[in-house]
């Protein structure tokens, strides 16, 4: 039987730029006998912030121990913020959805066919419309109604369910409710939302109707990290499609849904591959 390959270490780090960071990081890995497989970096000149993504083979050393040693090195010696994981790590995902099914189906099918380096473990909805579909995929489905009068209790139940499933990433697959800042703080895990518009234009409800009234020549979709401010979190991915005065609202919606599926899937994949690094109101996404 062929021996299983040792997992690689993946690290994302960022902090104030300083001379010799690349040399120090690569030197640390070299001195410990590691072999860098991928490395990419970026410097934001306006804020003087340095960003780097590394993936390396520890070559015989214990990957978990090396990962912890690197974290200490990056935080103490380089004074950088760092996030590390093993290449074999598969995060657990929780999906929140309302009634619109296209992103829900697309994301689950991609997960089932191995396109996402993570595992969808539960579906939560404020409606029952997709209960049978979730169960057909073999996924636990939880109906948590949300109204103006029970919002706090509903969010508390959603947090309880997501934590019970040890979810490390929440995906809003056209979940048509705004998560409160308190819920986001209590979850304490990243939340990715798909907005059916090219933000910052046409935020909020019914963006395709807004776009049609405005007579736009392109429509788009935006995947971003959710924050307490509506549709204002750091953007991970966007795509557009050209349209004209001949397209009806229904045609804009159809074209937009195609964009929404691919944009959400790309954003989720990049996050799971540890390629998206959020800072302030922006992200750096490494190739």
Domains annotated for the chain, with CATH where assigned, are: 9-86 (3.30.70.260), 91-285 (3.40.50.170)
Does the annotation count 231 as an active-site position? yes
DSSP per residue over 152-221, as a string? HHHHHHHHHHHHHTT-SEEEESS--SPPPHHHHHHH-S-EEEEESS-TTTT-SS-HHHHHHHHT-SEEEE
pLDDT of residue 175: 95
Stretch (H or E) spanning 245: none
In angstroms, rounded to a whole number, what is the distance separating the alpha carbons of residues 40 and 275? Answer: 10
CB 208 within 8 A of CB 256: yes
pLDDT of residue 189: 97
pLDDT of residue 196: 78
Which parts of the chain have pLDDT scores under 70?
1-4, 197-217, 244
Q: How far apart are the first and last CA of the chain?
A: 34
pLDDT of residue 61: 93
At 10-20, the pLDDT tens digits run 999 999 999 99
Q: Is the pTM of this model over 0.85?
A: yes
Residue of 17, 40, 44, 231 marked catalytic: 231
């Amino acid at each position: 039987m062929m021996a299983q390959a040792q997992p690689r270490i993946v690290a994302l780090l960022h902090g104030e730029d300083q001379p010799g960071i690349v040399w120090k990081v690569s030197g640390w890995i070299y001195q410990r006998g590691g072999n860098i497989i991928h490395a990419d970096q970026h410097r934001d000149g306006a804020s003087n912030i340095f960003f780097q993504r590394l993936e390396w083979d520890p070559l015989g050393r214990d990957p978990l121990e090396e990962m912890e040693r690197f974290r200490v090195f990056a935080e103490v010696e380089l004074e950088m913020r760092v996030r590390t994981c093993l290449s074999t790590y598969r995060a657990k995902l929780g999906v929140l959805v309302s009634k619109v099914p296209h992103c829900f189906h697309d994301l689950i099918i991609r997960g089932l066919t191995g396109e996402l380096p993570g595992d969808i473990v539960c579906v939560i909805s404020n409606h029952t419309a997709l209960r049978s579909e979730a169960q057909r995929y073999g996924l636990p489905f939880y109906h948590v109604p949300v109204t103006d009068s029970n919002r706090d209790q509903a969010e508390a139940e959603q947090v309880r369910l997501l934590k019970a499933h040890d979810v490390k990433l929440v995906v809003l697959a056209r979940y048509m409710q705004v998560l409160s800042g308190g819920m986001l703080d209590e979850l304490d895990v990243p939340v990715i939302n798909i907005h059916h518009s090219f933000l910052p234009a046409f935020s909020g409800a019914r963006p395709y109707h807004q776009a049609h009234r405005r007579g736009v020549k392109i429509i788009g979709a935006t995947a971003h990290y959710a924050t307490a401010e509506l549709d204002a979190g750091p953007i991970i991915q966007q795509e557009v499609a050209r349209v004209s005065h001949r397209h009806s609202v229904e045609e804009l919606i159809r074209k937009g849904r195609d964009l929404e599926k691919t944009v959400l899937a790309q954003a989720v994949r990049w996050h799971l591959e540890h390629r998206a690094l959020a800072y302030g109101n922006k992200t750096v996404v490494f190739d």
